[in-house]
Structure 1
Amino acid sequence: MFRLFDFSLKMSGFPMKGAHAAFDAILAVPEADFSTHIEAQRKKIVAFHLENNSFYKELVGENGYTDWNNLPVLTKKDLQKPLTERLSEGYTQKSVFVNKTSGSSGDPFIFAKDKEAHAITWASIIHRFGWYGIDFNTSFQARFYGIPLDFIGYRKERLKDFLGQRYRFPIFDLSDVFLEKVLKHFKTKKFDYINGYTSSIVLFAKFLQKKNLILKDICPTLKVCMVTSEMLFDSDKELLETQFGIPVVNEYGASELDLIAFQNPKGEWQVNSETLFVEILDNNNQPVPNGKEGRVVITSLYNKAHPFIRYDIGDVGILDEKSTPKKPILKQLVGRTNDIALLPSGKKSPGLTFYYVTKSIIEDDGNVKEFIIRQTKTDMFEIDYVSEIELTPDQIKGIQNAIDTYLEPGLRFSYNRKETLERTLRGKLKQFQSEL
């Protein structure tokens, strides 16, 4: 059988054959040797960036690398400068994989991965989805995600969907009228699994609950549902499993890194120890014991194009006491929940819709440092932002056009440039807040 998904990755320049071999070799490292393996890889990636990345070398300082716990913790603010200033020697924007973070934490930036690092990321994802019998070449995905609405961006995502065996349900309008259309697709298409934003999929489950329907009865081919990007509460997981009639898998990831934790078939939230090194740190950047709460700080062990070493992702979590170096278990994640925006037309749009709106103000010059969007009335929103230069009338007009496209016309937005933004008690900047 021709494996279209594998072929598409190969055509994009990602060396998947070598990545799968490298990933399998990591999996084969015995538990007894895994700490030594991780320590060696940590030293290797730090040494590489100290030698080849002037941005990281300046961050570490003249004293260099003596002790892991004394290395600086990289924040998103550190990365809000042009990408060319952060790339390692020998890499250019044309030779690497470049993307933007979602900005769900309110701190957007552009990042890069070298082709080998991105390939091993895909090997990691393929491995974990394989736990549930999902093969990206043959398994058909019902995808609850956003999509760019400009002509080129839209066509590019639709092509990716075709190559990845996916049918996408854009999540900008989650009214009952739209969800009725979604339901019709499940009646006629042989989906193998569901993947997408937690809040959107939960709204679909609530819609099914109102109609007293079980999705597995309507679409018997369904095997599993993977939710991502937002907190999955126990009550929502119970609702999903009841209304879908299939297992629900909790995924925690970051586009700039990889899958960070993925629920395994035993129900454990297993941390990715193959391509990442995940630490839980206190406010002094020192590791806390397993079972204690702290900041989630992550090192990408294979990305040579761009340093993500002791990178503070902006979340708070707890590692389980039964964690081992090879199999860390995430006991709890605090944060990553988004409100739903209720619009005058009756539309319900998840907070992550604003990812597509705020792309309008994410620029590679790093001008906009942080932002939050607050809904004060059904048709009234306020954008508070921190920037070096005030947004121009043309930029604001561009944002308004994006809002009209992704949400609906007639919404009113005010813009407030501020020195700092208010954070939660845990220091998290919540990008979208509903005050209704």
Structure 2
Amino acid sequence: MNWFKISLQLNKFPINRAQKLLQEIQDIPEEEFEDYVHNRRKAIVNYHLSHNSYYKDFFGNKEFTDWEEVPVMQKSDLQRPLNDRLSKKYNKKNSYIGKTSGSSGHPFIFAKDRFCHAVTWAEFINRYKWIDIDLNKSLQARFYGIPLDFYGNLTERFKDQVSLRRRFNVFDLSEKKMEEFLIRFKKSEFDYINGYTSAILLFAKYLKKQKIVLKETCPTLKVCIVTSEKLFENDKKLIEATFGIPVFNEYGASEVGLIAFENTDNEWIVNAESLFIEILDDNNRSLPYGEEGRIVITSLYNKAHPMIRYDIGDTGTLAKNSTFKHPVLLNLTGRTNDVARLADGKVVPGLTFYYVTKSIIEDAGSIKEFLIIQTALDKFKIEYVSENILSDGQVQKILAAIETFVGKNLQVEFEKMPILKRNKSGKLKQFTSII
């Protein structure tokens, strides 16, 4: 039974209609695909100019004439109440609502209409078939975090059950936990591994230390998919050697969906069906294939909320042999995270702070930017940009979240900053360890 598709349908995501559209788009001939992209770009801009007052004001209260004149959206532009950004006829009840991870230091709440969200899942189903994974049948070993509050935890575990996912909690990656992970692989017939790069890499290093090849322990394993953080080539080789299976890169973002997926020829194939990806220079001018610049994304089907020329905060390059129908991501800069090592031996991936930020995001977007620095085994500093100094209540909420997701008996210092320091690429890294 197709449990995964059924779960989407029960949540009112029209997956069958989305898969039909995806197939129709993929059937468009190469020579006609540029026209398809131009038409969809124009259609989504005009839709939001007609149905979204926020976007009309952002656009400048003028008509759409030329794509290069469409303003680029920064994450900071979206840090305002969600209700102010929704299109007519859409609300929090009839849309998919999510929160960005804040990995770039700019967290915000977003919306996608249900059909747009279904198209995203249709694309995931399609891409996973490239590597012989069927989301309706294949069992996933999921290296992710999980909400620890009762309702959030229960909801996520239910999703895991219907989606054939078995979660490996990455909040604690000590050797004792790695040993428990290994025992689970001995007892289960997992088809693939999916999760945060840093957590999977730490497990690979543990296996290397133990001189274990994971596929010999779990013969049903086929592939490993890493996401959310940059995978370096040497680390990829280590994971493949210790797991005994090929590793594939997935590049996505919750607010826009699947951006690129690595095929069996080691090419990152960009999602050209429902997204338009362009590389821009510092003056918002489009760069030719082969030149590195800012990755800017347009969601061609999201009617609930404008994601048009949206600067995602990464830099990259499209290969010179890219076309409108088959763009190839040559390289991606950023999305790396350090790990936090605590005095008790606990190892916590930097992306764990994603769950801390989710618990403190406010719809009004009062916290504009933030970063977390580990200065000692038990000391952290949070630098933030905000209109106001954090209240005692906000501080206590953050401290409680850190105690829940990271560890106890930690000293945390807060400092309000006028601006935050960025790296050479201009990206704000959310977590850094200097010990």
Q: TM-score, normalised by structure 2?
A: 0.99
Mapped pair 1:144 → 2:121: no
Q: How does 1:299-338 map to 2 (within 5 A)?
A: 299-338=298-337
Equivalent AA in structure 2 for residue 30 of structure 1: P
**Whole-angstrom CA distance in 2 between matches of 1:280 and 1:239:** 31
**Whole-angstrom CA distance in 2 between matches of 1:246 and 1:64:** 52
Paired residue secondary structure (2:344)? coil
Q: How does 1:391-406 map to 2 (within 5 A)?
A: 391-406=390-405
For 1:386-412, what per-residue CA distance to the aligned partner results, in whole angstroms no more than 9, with x for missing partners? 112221111111111111111111001
Aligned-residue offset at 1:62: 2.7
For 1:317-373, what per-residue CA distance to the aligned partner results, in whole angstroms no more than 9, with x for missing partners? 011001111110000101100001011110111100001112232110110011000
For 1:205-242, what per-residue CA distance to the aligned partner results, in whole angstroms no more than 9, with x for missing partners? 00000011111111010010000000000000000111
Unaligned runs of 5+ in 1: none
For 1:175-213, what per-residue CA distance to the aligned partner results, in whole angstroms no more than 9, with x for missing partners? 100000000000010000000000000000000000111
Q: Percent identity?
A: 55
Mapped pair 1:35 → 2:39: no
Equivalent AA in structure 2 for residue 278 of structure 1: I
Paired residue secondary structure (1:352)? helix
**Whole-angstrom CA distance in 2 between matches of 1:70 and 1:124:** 30
Q: How does 1:10-409 map to 2 (within 5 A)?
A: 10-409=9-408
Instruction: Decide which moves more: 326-335 or 57-66.
Output: 57-66
**Whole-angstrom CA distance in 1 between matches of 2:59 and 2:226:** 37
Aligned to 2:415: 416
For 1:243-263, what per-residue CA distance to the aligned partner results, in whole angstroms no more than 9, with x for missing partners? 111110011100000111100
**Whole-angstrom CA distance in 1 between matches of 2:275 and 2:357:** 28
Instruction: Decide which moves more: 259-268 or 106-115.
Output: 259-268
**Whole-angstrom CA distance in 2 between matches of 1:193 and 1:361:** 33
Paired residue secondary structure (1:220)? coil
**Whole-angstrom CA distance in 2 between matches of 1:361 and 1:418:** 18
**Whole-angstrom CA distance in 2 between matches of 1:46 and 1:117:** 15
For 1:295-315, what per-residue CA distance to the aligned partner results, in whole angstroms no more than 9, with x for missing partners? 000000000000000000000
**Whole-angstrom CA distance in 1 between matches of 2:310 and 2:129:** 28
Aligned-residue offset at 1:74: 0.3
Paired residue secondary structure (1:321)? coil
**Whole-angstrom CA distance in 1 between matches of 2:127 and 2:257:** 11
Aligned-residue offset at 1:63: 2.9
Mapped pair 1:430 → 2:426: no
**Whole-angstrom CA distance in 1 between matches of 2:275 and 2:330:** 17
**Whole-angstrom CA distance in 1 between matches of 2:419 and 2:183:** 47
**Whole-angstrom CA distance in 2 between matches of 1:121 and 1:360:** 25
Aligned-residue offset at 1:64: 2.6
Equivalent AA in structure 2 for residue 370 of structure 1: E
**Whole-angstrom CA distance in 1 between matches of 2:318 and 2:161:** 38
Paired residue secondary structure (1:89)? coil
For 1:258-299, what per-residue CA distance to the aligned partner results, in whole angstroms no more than 9, with x for missing partners? 111100111101100011000000011011111111000000
Instruction: Decide which moves more: 78-87 or 416-425.
Output: 416-425
Equivalent AA in structure 1 for residue 135 of structure 2: F
